[in-house]
Amino acid sequence: MVLIKKDSKRKAKIYNSISDNQLELLNFNGILKLIKIIINHLNQPQNLTTIRDIYYQDVEIFNKNQQECKKLLVELFEESFGWSLTDDLNIHPTQKGLFFSNILVNKYEVSLIPINFIEYFKDIKLERNTIKVIILEKDAVFQSFCQYLMNQKHQLNNHQFKYIIITAKGFADNLTIKFLTFLNLEFQPTTIYGFFDSDIYGIMIYSQYKEKCGDNIEFNGIFLMDIAPKNWLNISDRDFGIMSTMSNKDVSTTTHREITRGMYFHKKVEMNVISDKSLTTDTNYNQYIFKKVFQ
């Protein structure tokens, strides 16, 4: 079996069933297994699956390594056949992003962003510019804020606020980006509120969202000057170097300010580790986010 890498100068990979190389034998068996799985997958009426689902159909043959399964899928179908796993085979990356919303009646729970999110939200009718979309960098902040909103449910309902909270637990995966793009086009929120750490990694994550989803995504905090100095954290020399490089790029005024402040003080702030009494204006970060979005 020969896998030809499209548009690649590297040698084609050859997998042989009579090889004496154990790794080649495993890869050969894995490829045969993948072909069988994909044929069955394409014959299903609802042929939608994830790399994770494929991996768990036979973890042993993929050497108990999900990345090995993904690598073989890419080599076999995308690099050799020129097919797209997502568009042609309806095989999607493992779901990573989470969302929480009050736009679905009587459904207040944290859920994975559905792969078929267009079908999931097809019956929702909202006026344009009425939904508030909030992105939170950290999963811990997301979970805490969702619980906080549950406690504020009656107050929000009285004001007819509609919202959807999203986290990708750091840098966004493709499904989360596509979901945000869909929300941006379908419901046209005037602003997408983004809350990230005031450090170079939080700013890089924000920049990724902004690049992929448009200019109406704003960096709303947390800001270095919103936190009592005793709760600031030191930045490393490596972080300082990345900040210096990024400060010379085309970034927003807000993020440029946070970068230069961090470089000046050699400090940063991480939202999920601040104490209730760290903030200079509010008692905790849940109230901090709530005030900026809903008040």
pLDDT in tens, 189-213: 778 999 999 999 999 999 999 988 8
- Could you report how far apart the first and last alpha carbons of the chain are, in Å? 63
Structure tokens at 173: 């995966």
pLDDT at 260: 93
Architecture of domain 98-294: 3-Layer(aba) Sandwich (3.40)
Q: Phi then psi for 212, rounded to 5 degrees?
A: -85, -30
3 state DSSP class of 180: helix
* CATH 3.40.1360.10 placement within the chain: 98-294
Task: Identify the sign of the CA torsion 217, 223, 226, 227.
Answer: positive
**CA angle, 254 as apex, 249 and 260 as ends, to 5°?**
65
Global confidence as pTM: 0.75
The average confidence (pLDDT) of the chain is 81
Q: Is the pLDDT of residue 17 over 60?
A: no
Q: Phi then psi for 230, rounded to 5 degrees?
A: -65, -15
pLDDT at 198: 92
Higher pLDDT, 237 or 8: 237
Q: Is the pLDDT of residue 64 over 50?
A: yes
pLDDT at 19: 61
pLDDT at 4: 47
Q: Is the pLDDT of residue 10 over 50?
A: no
> How, if at all, do strands 217-219 and 192-195 pair?
parallel
Across 32-36, 56-60, 173-177, 237-241, the highest mean pLDDT is recorded for 237-241
Structure tokens at 283: 């008692």
Among candidates 167, 147, 163, which has minimal Cα distance to 104? 163
Q: How far apart are CA 30 and CA 50, in angstroms?
A: 17
Do the Cβ atoms of 283 and 276 come closer than 8 Å? yes
pLDDT at 277: 52
Q: Is the pLDDT of residue 245 over 50?
A: yes
